[in-house]
Chains A and B, each alone.
Chain A
Amino acid sequence: MSALSSAITQFVRDLLAPPGEICLTCGSKNRLTREWPGICRRCAESIPWIGKPRCVYCGRACGCPDCLREEARQRSFLLNRSAVQYDDMMREWLAQYKYRGNERYARLLIRMISQALTSMQKEMPLLLGNSDVSGPGEEWKPDLITYVPVSTERLMERGFNQAEVLAEGIGKIHHLPVVPLLVRSEHTGKQSFKTRSERVESMKHAFDPDLEGMQILAHVGKRGRSIQNQGDAADRSEAAGALRVLIVDDIYTTGSTINTCAGRIQEMAQYCTGAPAEVYSLTWARS
């Protein structure tokens, strides 16, 4: 009898309970926000957005000694932008998604990084100083999106590549092609267990070109850029003629992963299209 009666009282309680759903991140029962899928207002308001990056190179919200170093000038990518600062709460979110495998976070993280891409699109013309050339109607956008690959072993273990999911997500929202350009050539071990110098060292040989990606790159390089090249002034032709690649990852710490990937993409672009590419980086969090 008790099971039946408790089922009935539970049903009645559910009917009478105030509206609301369980918040994905804090677990409280609350009204969820519309703009950020699955989370309540309180959680949404405490997201540490990087509204205005202090460092124009790496997109850090605070001053950045790394980008003032000599070797930072030699980087293979132009700049990085991140959606949020990597604080304890964001660390927990990413851990829930990446390590625990709670894939309900995917939609939320995609929306967040998509927001970052939108503000990047607003910022770019001003930063590059070519707003007068392209005109107000034309927005800055990359020719293609790619992502940082993970090793096959990790992929099998985890079931997904978080960077790929983010890239596919923003590709769909912003109508941009997503092309896997790289594959992980060896198992480098978890980045989070390493020191800075170890990371830089282990990164050097971690990525190989993806053959299918190469072919696509060659095709896009020829076709996509030939149209724009025609009207450009001679002194800007080199920059404008370059292929614009946006590389996506979940977190930017020292930038060595992104830098290595960008270096590889530069080589590939040089080989396929005869010109270096402009590589930009977009990450979900900046530590």
Chain B
Amino acid sequence: MFCGFQMKNPQRSPTNPGSVRSRFTQVFLQSLLRIRKHSPASSSSSSSLGEFLKRCHRVKVAAYVSMARAAGTRRAWSRAMLWRVRHDAHRHRLLQGRCSRSSSRERSPGKKKRRTKKKKKRRDDQEHGFGNAEKLQKLVPGGEAMDFSCLLDETAHYIKCLVTQVKVMRSIADFYSL
């Protein structure tokens, strides 16, 4: 398949060796081609600072969405990531005034996250995390609704996927810049 993107250490992948990586690579490459097709012809660099930033943002979002899709919906962080992107895109469209009638749809209970009691969380923080758990909750998608052990588990998987994402993106960038 992607001979150029075969990595040496498959034991970092969470499920089957290479499956998250190759799913991510495939989805992300397709997103990149789609972005390239839809971006305006950037012949001059002067007009396209705004375009560059927009495209940059699209690439970044595509990377995170591709990784969340490759990780699957069994993970709380990937569900939260996909929900957040969809919610942000929807809110972006609302702000742009394209679909005003779907504001009622926004209030639907799309949040599948669990809510934990704050008292228990504070005790866990004092026992284990000393408040660093709060910072971690903000960094991991969906983290604010997780209890401490779930947060640790999701964080480990999230980090593995982020590392894979960075490796694949770097090798794509190296390949493209040949």
Task: Tell me if chain B binds chain A.
Answer: no
